[in-house]
Amino acid sequence: MFNFHKLALQNAKPQNAKVLLFTIVSFIILFALTILTFMPLQPAIYKLMMSMAMQQSVAGPIFGIVLAILVPILVFLFVGYPLIAGTIYTIDKALNKDKVNFKDLFSVFAKGKYLKALKLSLITILFIIIALVLGEVIAQLLQLGIIQLYQAIQGPLSNSDHALGYSLAFQMIAGTLTLFIKSFVYWLLAIIIINYTVAFIKEPKNGAWNSVKRGFKGIKNGQKTWFKFYIGLLLLNLIVIILASPISQLISILTGGISQNMATILIYIVHVIVIIVRLAVYYVNILAIIQYFNRNGEPSNHNKSKKDKKKNANITDNQDSKVNSSVTNTTEKAKSNIDQKSDQLQDKANDETKNLKNNLNQSDK
């Protein structure tokens, strides 16, 4: 389940600190761009709500919202995805044990790659929109089921002395479960995006569409290892979900009875831990996805040798059982022949004895 995670960390080990640093720098740049580009969206929405409340024309505010949404899309198209592709290129070089440099982060902006990368940027935006829509649909469907379940158990819970605690526990479990199920969609599409990005940076001449095809083929590779690998990604991501959702909420609740300054410090510490764990899990998962694609899902030599030894052991056991069965059958046949011959000799001796007795009787007469 985590074989490709281990293999990726081993291959990147000589340059792991450098690659991690470059990846964090890339994440910080992307995070800053995201914050800056989405800042105009909230005032535009507020302006639209005020215009509707005061029964004024909403054409201007709607245009402002469209523009505010269009700006982050354009920034991701021309800057965000090429930077992500450069980060993946840097990690891929480290996994292949090639020397990495800081300028590798911006390698996709080079002539000959950038224009082709823009096509993949458009495809990636489409995948992100699909992921957000599917995630929202899943959340709404789960919400309906959770509401029905809560209404069914609300009566018994209300009669309990710990009704509030049970209610909070139910909400935390439901929220964590919803986030975990949504992560199935997010990480599946993340695997596809990373796969076709790796395919593109390895062979830019193949074009965007061929790279996307390779991205899907990286999942359906016939090795029967992908599902276990996928579950491993989700389980590591579950650690982040648990830390960011129920544990953070519990700490916020439990710090309600202490001083404000101490509570704020503890909450900040928890937030820092969540950020560190999130970065570590995302980094390791990205390494593993790239490693899995590079090996086309083939297990490592160590695991393969284990399987071969097990297979050989099974073959040897089968051969031994066949030999033992053959020996047993031969022994039983030999024993049967001996018994048969013994019976025949005994019958012959009895017949001769009877004939001798008859001859003696006749001679006496």
Q: Give residue 189's pLDDT.
A: 95
Q: Is the CB of residue 193 less than 8 Å from the CB of residue 185?
A: no
Q: Give residue 162's pLDDT.
A: 76
Phi-psi region of 98 (alpha: psi -120 to 50; beta: other; left: phi over 0): beta
Q: Give residue 318's pLDDT.
A: 52
| 50-62 pLDDT tens trace | 888 888 888 888 8
**Tokens at 348, concatenated:** 């012959």
Q: Give residue 346's pLDDT.
A: 54
Q: How would you write the pLDDT of the chain (365 residues) with one tens digit per residue? A: 889 999 999 988 888 889 999 999 999 999 999 999 998 888 888 888 888 888 888 888 888 899 989 999 999 999 999 999 999 999 999 999 899 999 999 999 987 889 889 999 999 999 999 999 999 999 999 999 988 888 888 777 777 777 788 888 888 999 999 999 999 999 999 999 999 999 999 988 888 899 999 999 999 887 888 999 999 999 999 999 999 988 988 888 888 778 888 888 888 999 999 999 999 999 999 999 999 999 988 887 655 545 445 555 454 455 555 545 554 454 455 455 545 554 555 555 555 555 544 554 554 44
- Residue 54 and residue 59: Cα distance in Å, rounded? 14
